[in-house]
Amino acid sequence: MITLDDVKKNPQILEFINQTEEAMEALSYTNHGLRHSAVVSECAMDIAKKIGLEEREAELAAIAGFCHDMGNFMTRTFHHFFGAMLFGQVFTNQFDPKELAMIMQAISNHDKEEMNFTHNLSAILVLADKSDVDRSRVTAKDPEHFKHDIHDRVNYAARESKITVDKQKKRITLALKIDTNFCPVMEYFEIFTDRMVFCRKAAQFLGYDFGLVINKFRLL
């Protein structure tokens, strides 16, 4: 049985992620490399455990989280599809067929307009991925660059990002601390509105409401 540790040590997977990190930096995008992969993987595992999924399903969510962006080195536009196919190629005949299909579907589903959910892994991955807003994701070396790039500006302004699960109230909440001296809260919504809609749909699939709190003020 392939474990999360096996995936994290796989040389092909690591090279895909390393190549993605280089490709995204060349395009002046926020970090989509090992840092983002590790954060999303850990967050996916945490969400899965807190909503009460079994250990193996939580591990599969973490595996999908670690590998979800690795197709970016081939194309940004269709990275989710290529990432899913790459995962299938690397691990063909090594996973239970159903597990392999679930991970591939979660990866291919995490970043597209026709997003839909057919199992827990896909919904958890969306929540884990879209909640990673943090200044450490900014790769631009020149401060003047991210002052003029809204994605870098919003991420740089984020001092803290935390997603919590209240199992009793059936609510999943993303709490952010944003430095409004650097970036107004409205700019967050300018680029993240679609992502928050995805998060709401993902939470609903899991049987939860989705909440958003910015600077201790509940917006959703």
Q: What is the pLDDT of residue 183?
A: 83
What are 173's strand-pairing partners?
A: 164, 211
Task: Give residue 144's pLDDT.
Answer: 67
Quick check: 20 and 73 in contact, CB under 8 A? yes
Radius of gyration of the chain from its Cα atoms, rounded to whole angstroms: 17
Q: Rounded to 10 degrees, what is the CA torsion of 164, 2, 93, 95?
A: -40
pLDDT of residue 145: 64
User: Which pLDDT value is given to residue 156?
Assistant: 83
Q: Does domain 4-218 have CATH number 3.40.50.10800?
A: no
Consecutive 10-residue averages of pLDDT for the chain (220 residues): 97 98 88 94 98 98 98 94 97 96 96 83 96 84 68 85 96 94 84 89 97 92
Contacts with 112 (C-beta within 8 Å, 6 or more apart), sequence order: 80
Q: Is the dihedral of CA 106, 108, 111, 112 positive or negative?
A: negative
Beta strands in 58-201 (DSSP E): 158-166, 171-178
Q: What is the pTM of this model?
A: 0.93
